[in-house]
Structure 1
Amino acid sequence: MGGGRCITVVVAVLLLALRSGVRACPATEREALLEFKAALQEPYLGIFNSWRGSDCCHNWYGVSCEQESRRVADINLRGESEEPIFERARRTGYMTGYISPAICRLERLSSITIADWKGISGEIPRCITSLPFLRMIDLIGNRISGTIPEDIGRLKRLTVLNVAENVMSGRIPASVAKLRSLMHLDVRNNRLWGPIPKKLGSLGMLSRALLSGNRLSGPIPESISKIYRLADLDVSGNEISGPIPEWLGKMGVLSTVNLDMNKLSGEIPLSLFSSGISDLNLSRNALEGNIPDAFGVRSYFTVLDLSYNNLRGPIPFSISSASYIGHLDLSHNHLCGKIPLGPPFDHLQPSSFLHNDCLCGKPLKPC
């Protein structure tokens, strides 16, 4: 009996060992992660101290695996977090080095988040476009250079592309227009130049297009009018030229439009003031003509900034019929005449009207 029990225990231990081996991540993926780690230096938090042992699916910080296959599915490394490791250190993360092409050997990757580490440099590995299951790329807040991969459009499942706040250059690749599942495009604060892709309107699922703080030029592509889910359009701080399209005010769910600090010219379309847009910034352009007398009950603005343009004529009296205007800035134009009475003018400061030709009335000097 004793011998039988001994054999049973030995068999159980062996089965457990075998089961543990089966449940561990593939050795090739563990090696790829260790090669990825070797290209990075993180001196303060020790986030890679947990990357030990044979099973990269078990307690490796920032690594998640598919439950059944045990293949690596997610890398989630954020330099700004509320997790205990950051709270104990009382600091945000800082990491140098580069993103190793070894990451491309993780063939089941669904998301790559390597964000807000401030010092990671080098280029995005070109091979990243060969990962067929990739849904999210979030590399915001580093020092990544080079260009967005030209064939980024191969990632048919991609829903988030965020490379904001880096030092990337080159054009936004035309193949971006092939990312039919893309919902969030964020390339803010880089050194990108050239036109906005003409076929950007092919991105029917896109809800946020954040392109500000680059050197983009040319007009706003008409195809954008076809993105019926677009809620947030920000192309501020570029060199965008031409007129503001009338169709911007006719888009179904568009609520935030930031076109400030560009080279836009012509008159302001009437449609913008009777639309669903609630945050509209057109400041620091070369816009001309009068402020359209087109305000009404559908006009609801938390922010309306028309400052630093070449607008002329009076402030339209219809602006008083707007449902709500929170912040209004009409300064640094060539406006003239009496400031209307009543809301929103009864809560505005003089700074909203300064540096015009001949405006008068409260809160400025009496007429």
Structure 2
Amino acid sequence: MGLTRNFLVSTATVLLALALAANACSPSDRAALLDFKAALNEPYLGIFNTWSGTDCCTNWYGVSCDPETKRVADIVLRGESEDPIFEKAGRSGYMTGSISPSICQLDRLTTLVVADWKDISGEIPACITSLPNLRILDLIGNKISGQIPADIGKLSRLTVLNLADNQISGSLPSSIVNLNSLMHLELSNNKLSGEIPSDIGKLSMMSRALLSRNQLTGPIPSSLASIYRLADLDLSMNQITGSIPDQFGSMPVLSTLNLDSNQLSGEIPTSLLANSGLNILNLSRNALEGNLPDVFGPKTYFTTIDLSYNNLRGSIPKSLSSAKYVGHLDLSHNHLCGPIPDGSPFDHLEASSFANNDCLCGMPLRTC
């Protein structure tokens, strides 16, 4: 009887151990995570205190696994969060250190978010491009430097690439145009230089391209206009030259276009101001010239039109009065002349919208 009982107990122990092993993450994934953790220092919230024990798929803060394979699928660590840990501490996150190349050993990873920790530095591990399943790479709001990995285009499933608010330098790698699943590209507020690849229009799935506050040069690639889904394009605060592509006026989904604070020249494409889908247009602080096209009508709906600080001449188009809606209009610091039209939207605009032109007159300026 004793032998039978001992056999049953030992069998149950083995079965329990096997069950626990089946539900635990793989030892290689756990080792990679601990190496990743060792390269970082999070002194205030203690989120890495949860990274203990053998099962990294359960209760490890920010880590989740594929329920079938038990392989690590997502790492989501946000320094600005509504998580109770943050609310209880009454602060946003702060972390130093760097992103360890050991992250590349997690070969089933689909999501890597290490965002808004303020002081994570070092470079993006070049081996990150070897993760075949990666769909989201979000490292916004740190102090990451170095260049975007040259073969970033190998990440064929990547839908979100967000490296904004870092210190990344160098040019946009030519392979970036091979990210044929990419929907959101956010690289604003870095130190990127060089030209935007001329064939960036190959990113046919892209809906947002935010590249402001860098040191980009060269022309605006006209191929951008071939991206049917592109709704939000921000190239502001760079050193971009040349003219605005005429094709932008026929983009069917484009609703926000920010090209301000560059070195653009030439005339504003007539089709751009006639595009009834465009909602926010900022072309200020460039060297644009010529007359304002008289192409507005009942379908015109602008939350914002900012054309200030250019070299525009002629009069303000009377057709602006027939627009369905114009919220904010800024035509200041140009060489416009003649009477300001009557009626909406001019009856709710302040004098600052028309200041520093050659000879504009009428409400809200001096009478003609």
TM-score normalised to structure 1 length: 0.98
Name the structure 1 match of 2:40: 40
CA distance in 2, matches of 1:19, 1:5: 21
* C-alpha distance in 2 between matches for 1:174 and 1:298: 39
Q: Which residue of 2 aligns with 1:293?
A: 294
State the Cα deviation string for residues 128-151 of structure 1 (Å, max 9, x = none): 000101111000000000000000
Distance 1:8 1:274 in 2: 81
Partner of 1:306: 307
| Cross-structure match for 2:175 | 175
> After superposition, what is the alpha-carbon deviation per residue over 1:16-69, rounded to whole angstroms, capped at 9, x for unaligned?
221101221111110110000000011011010000000100100000100011
Amino acid at match of 1:133: N
1:243-322, aligned counterparts within 5 Å? 243-275=243-275, 276-322=277-323
- Alpha-carbon deviations, 1:93-112, whole Å to 9, x = none? 00000000000000100010
Asked if 1:232 is matched to 2:232, the reply is yes
Q: Aligned-pair distance for 1:198? A: 0.9
- Please list, as runs of the form range in 1=range in 2, the aligned pairs for 1:17-36 lying within 5 A after superposition: 17-36=17-36
Aligned to 1:355: 356
**Structure 1 CA distance, aligned partners of 2:140 and 2:72?**
22
Q: Give the superposition deviation at 1:10.
A: 4.3
SS of aligned partner of 1:331: coil
Aligned to 1:205: 205
Whole-Å separation in 1 of the counterparts to 2:226 and 2:338: 40
Measure, in 2, the Cα distance between the counterparts of 1:187 and 1:150.
Answer: 15
Give the superposition deviation at 1:322.
Answer: 1.1
Separation in 2, partners of 1:324, 1:246: 24
For 1:6 and 1:337, the matched residues in 2 are separated by: 102
- What aligned pairs does 1:1-367 form with structure 2 within 5 A after superposition? 7-275=7-275, 276-367=277-368
Could you say what secondary structure the match of 2:311 adopts?
Answer: coil
What are the Cα deviations for residues 261-280 of structure 1, in whole angstroms up to 9, with x where unaligned?
Answer: 00000111111122111100
**Per-residue Cα deviation, 1:196-225 (whole angstroms, up to 9, x for no partner):** 011100011000010100010111111112
1:4: how far off?
A: 5.2
Report the number of matched residues. 367
For each residue in 1:166-199, what CA deviation from the matched residue of structure 2 results, as whole angstroms up to 9, or x when unmatched? 0000000010000000000010000000000111
2:34 is paired with a residue whose SS is: helix
> 1:239 aligns to what SS in structure 2?
coil
Look up the equivalent residue of 2:344 and give its one-letter code: P
1:366 Cα offset (Å): 1.3
Q: Secondary structure at the match of 1:137?
A: strand
Runs of 4+ in structure 1 displaced over 2 angstroms? Answer: 1-14
Equivalents in 2 of 1:330, 1:92: separation in Å?
40
Percent identity, aligned pairs only, is 66
Tell me, what secondary structure is at the counterpart of 1:311? strand
CA distance in 2: counterparts of 1:259 and 1:343, whole angstroms: 26
Between the aligned partners of 2:201 and 2:58, the Cα distance in structure 1 is 42
Moved more, 48-57 or 18-27: 18-27
Alpha-carbon separation, structure 2, partners of 1:231 and 1:298: 18
Where 2:49 maps in the other structure, the secondary structure is helix
User: In structure 1, how many angstroms separate the alpha carbons of the residues matched to 2:32 and 2:246?
Assistant: 51
Q: Compute the displacement of 1:12 (Å).
A: 2.7
| Unaligned runs of at least 5 residues, structure 2 | none
- Normalising by structure 2, we get a TM-score of 0.98
Query: More deviation in 289-298 or 141-150?
Result: 289-298
- Unaligned 5+ segments in structure 1 are none
Alpha-carbon distance, 1:323 to partner: 1.1
Q: Distance in 2 between matches of 1:28 and 1:178?
A: 31
**Distance across 1 between alignment mates of 2:306 and 2:282:** 5
- Using the TM superposition, give the Cα deviation of residue 2 of structure 1 relative to its aligned residue in structure 2, in angstroms: 8.1
- Alpha-carbon offset, residue 5 of structure 1: 6.0
- Could you say what secondary structure the match of 1:289 adopts? strand
Question: Within 2, Cα distance between the matches of 1:42 and 1:249?
Answer: 48
Whole-Å separation in 2 of the counterparts to 1:69 and 1:163: 30
**Secondary structure of 1:337's partner?**
strand
Residue 11 of structure 1 deviates from its aligned partner by 2.7
Q: 2:297 corresponds to which letter in structure 1?
A: G
**What SS does structure 2 have at the residue aligned with 1:223?**
helix
Q: Cα RMSD over matched residues? A: 1.2
Q: Distance in 1 between matches of 2:127 and 2:224?
A: 29
Helix, strand or coil at the partner of 1:204: coil
Write the distance in 1 (CA, Å) between the matches of 2:272 and 2:300. 9
